[in-house]
Structure 1
Amino acid sequence: MSYIDLLPATARHDELARVRAEKRRWVRQRKNGFLRYREPSE
């Protein structure tokens, strides 16, 4: 069971999956030093 299955039916599951995949890609990218802690928009 996924955490998405626990959300109400009104939640936008496709949007949540997209945001989660985007964050996962950002976390997995190579970063050095302080860049590791910066947000993608900075």
Structure 2
Amino acid sequence: GPYPASTNFGATSVGTMAIRRFLRPVCYQNLPDDLLPVDLR
């Protein structure tokens, strides 16, 4: 039969949702300017 990881997209590096493992949401909405990173001021 097929390998178990090939049918579970969360456990393989080639699944359609695999990129979510590397995403990190960052939001600076309503953050005071003095707390922003220098590049974003």
TM-score (norm 2): 0.22
Higher RCO (CA-CA < 8 Å; seq separation 6+): 1
TM-score (norm 1): 0.22
Structure with higher helix content: 1
Query: Which protein has the larger Cα radius of gyration, Structure 1 or Structure 2?
Result: 2
